[in-house]
Structure 1
């Protein structure tokens, strides 16, 4: 029996999507449980996800088929308001594009967005003034600068090809980092000596921490449980345990660390300097410094009173996303009185991945 024939018993809207209002209580409950399980799986909470999937399948063994059918029809329906026709992309051809040559070819283009019937009034502004506007956007919000630069070819050339913009970005980014004493302080001299005056290359290769979000590590491990009394089972049940580590860095050299079973959806909006008022507990404060090659040293308070805690992490790339991960190097705690040092095992730990946050308002 095909999927379409299996779905005939359910009410289908004119746009091809399932009419959830026509589901009976049992089907609706299965749909909700499957949706919750999908969200838990995305968060990395595998134990909770498996339990929710099990309950959903118990209510309706075909819940996964029509749940995914619902998502596919939303994406594929020509009547959907969110549908955007995208031409196929030849990835091999994209890789061959020389970005700098392409941007250079935009030099003589005018500011004429295709959606406008008339030229934009921005075309009346000089190049110097447009560059100045982009520098102001860099000071306020880097994403605003990028989106403005992507408006048309002319602005792309001025915003992404201009040396002064990349120099501005480097000065903004690296002036907020907190380096060890041996790190040189002159950004211009460093760029000339190590990157031959190429500010864009410097930003791409020189590690830095990001402050407009939090770094999150999702840890899953399996634990053997106990058999119930009078059970005849040959083996003990296995449970998947999920917990999270959060680190948020601040440009003033301070940071916050949290180990919890609460999901990022709950924690991240509350992880700021007013975390006590927002209901977060066991958030430990610390300070951080880094080396030129991207090793980050965090020191501060922890779960045991009378001990100082230290963690060393390495900034890494995540595919094309530059400086987006933190890999563990070491972690230890030290008795403040006698100096006794003990190292933590990192066998179960996983790298941190940066998650950008637009607003910390709950």
Structure 2
């Protein structure tokens, strides 16, 4: 028995020795993998613990901040309510009670008054911005409608439209020639509107606009103001008086003239223009004498000069020849009085497409005795008159009507000692170029008399 036990014990010991020897003989790579797994597992545990701690702290801080913010908002609202209650009591005259509420509000939020003021200011600015935006939006809509209407009007072809008939029908529908643009109910008006004037006064004002100088350019500008002025500017009596002033006895009768209205006659019938003067520029070459030292050298001088003609509605015409520029000369032809000696004054008449001009110049000469060269008498003076007869054709260009005068004939007559000397000039394009009209604004700045 003992032997078996001993042997058994011995067998177990052998088994343990075999297992330990087998572990001892296990490869080292398995031990290395196990150590790596333990290290990685420990690192993961440490990482989770490190991430978990800040998250809880952040949540704690957030909750504290939210709580503090809610407490601040509640304090500000309480202070604002107390301050507004104090303001209401102050309005009622309870100043002592209002001070109590003010004190409590300031204890909660020291700058509550400034906060309420800033909040009210921001609200007022926001309201003003909103109102401005609405106003701009409405204005933009109105402008868009106006532009659309204008576009519609521009698209309409008015070349064959009788504006006089259209405006006349519009005036008949409104029962008034002029209307107030600011005629609102309840508005106190202290001044007098032009629509309050009688029609006779308005037409008389337009006669002053045209004036005795026939300034129809200003009348057309008045016609562009509104429909009422457009109709008044087409008054037949104004245009009839203008035709009579231009053509005189040669005006004729409207029914036999081939024109439907007096305005149509004034526009299309040949005439001269009055709001400026006609200017013709001429030049010639003047040769000098040969040089004493060089016989082949001969000086040549180019001479340029201007002829000016201005017509007046009453039949008076002024003519002047000068080498000065037009800007220096046109002012001398403004009136028919106090004329300079170099300006010729005469009369003109219109016959069809022609304008006939008669100009005169008077020169007083004193006679002398044959012996001794003494005067025979200081009071004995003989008149030496020069008369110029000029015929010009009235022509038009593509830009303007009746802005060109073309020479047709030019005759000079001199009366000396009861003898008449007549000279006819040969009209060449180089010596007598045509006249071209140039507008002068200063001629019609003032009106001295109405159209009659």
Instruction: Give the TM-score, by structure 2 length.
Output: 0.45
The reply on whether 1:255 has 2:317 as its aligned counterpart is yes
| Count of aligned pairs between the two proteins | 251
Q: Per the alignment, in what secondary structure is the counterpart of residue 402 of structure 2?
A: strand
Aligned partner of 1:289 in structure 2 is: 349
Report if aligned partners of 2:410, 2:425 keep a CA contact under 8 Å in 1: yes
| In structure 2, C-alpha distance between the alignment counterparts of 1:231 and 1:117, rounded to whole Å | 85
Matches within 5 A, 1:141-152: 141-152=215-226
Find the partner of 2:398 among 319, 323, 331.
Answer: 319
How many Å apart are 1:153 and its aligned residue?
A: 4.3
2:410 to 327, 331, 339: 331
Aligned mates of 2:312, 2:237 — CA distance in 1: 22
Unpaired runs of 5+ residues, structure 1, are 1-92
2:159 to 98, 101, 125: 98
| Gap change, CA 1:314 and 1:130, over 3 Å in 2 | same
| In 1, Cα distance between equivalents of 2:244 and 2:284 | 37
Counterpart-to-counterpart distance in 2, 1:273 and 1:126: 36
Which residue in the other structure is 1:359 paired with? 442
Structure 1 residue 224: Cα displacement: 5.3
- 1:100, 1:199 → 2: CA distance? 19
In the superposition, relative to structure 1, how do residues 121 and 307 fare at CA in structure 2: closer, same or farther (>3 Å)?
closer
Distance in 1 (CA, whole Å) between partners of 2:158 and 2:297 is 57
Instruction: Evaluate the alpha carbon distance shift between residue 358 and residue 231 of structure 1 in structure 2; reply closer, same or farther with a 3 A threshold.
Output: same
Q: How far off its partner does 1:270 sit?
A: 1.7
Q: Per the alignment, do residues 145 and 290 of structure 1 end up closer, same or farther by CA in structure 2, a change over 3 Å counting?
A: closer
Instruction: Output the CA distance in 2 between the equivalents of 1:356 and 1:231.
Output: 49
Deviation string 1:22-79 (CA, Å, 9 cap, x unpaired) is xxxxxxxxxxxxxxxxxxxxxxxxxxxxxxxxxxxxxxxxxxxxxxxxxxxxxxxxxx
- In 2, the alpha carbon distance for the partners of 1:125 and 1:99 equals 33
CA distance 1:100–1:295, change in 2 (3 Å): farther
CA distance in 1, matches of 2:198, 2:345: 48
Does structure 1 retain, via aligned residues, the 8 Å contact 2:360–2:388?
yes
Change (3 A) 1:292 1:221: same
Provide the secondary structure at the position in 2 that maps to 1:327. strand
Residue of structure 1 equivalent to 2:242: 172
Contact 1:315/1:327 (CA < 8 Å) preserved in 2?
yes
SS at match of 1:345: coil
The CA distance in 2 between the partners of 1:306 and 1:126, in whole Å, is: 54
Task: Give the alignment of 1:257-276 within 5 angstroms.
Answer: 257-271=319-333, 272-276=335-339
Distance 2:287 2:399 in 1: 39
**Counterpart contact for 2:291–2:297, Cα < 8 Å:** no
Shift of 1:112: 7.9
CA contact 2:243–2:262 (8 Å) conserved in 1 = no
Counterpart of 2:427?
Answer: 346
Aligned equivalents of 1:260, 1:251: Cα separation in 2: 24
- Alpha carbons 1:302, 1:309 under 8 Å: kept: no
2:256 to 172, 179, 193: 193
User: Compared with structure 1, are the counterparts of its residues 159 and 350 closer, same or farther at alpha carbon in structure 2 (3 Å cutoff)?
Assistant: farther
What is the DSSP-based 3-state SS (H/G/I as helix, E as strand, rest coil) of the residue aligned with 1:98?
coil
* Aligned-pair CA distance for 1:301: 2.5
Shift of the alpha carbon at 1:244? 0.7
2: CA distance, partners of 1:202 / 1:248 = 22
| 2:281 is the alignment partner of 1:207 | no
Between the aligned partners of 2:290 and 2:283, the Cα distance in structure 1 is 22
State the distance in 2 between where 1:99 and 1:144 align: 25
Unmatched tracts of structure 2, length 5 or more: 1-153, 172-176, 185-191, 365-383, 446-452
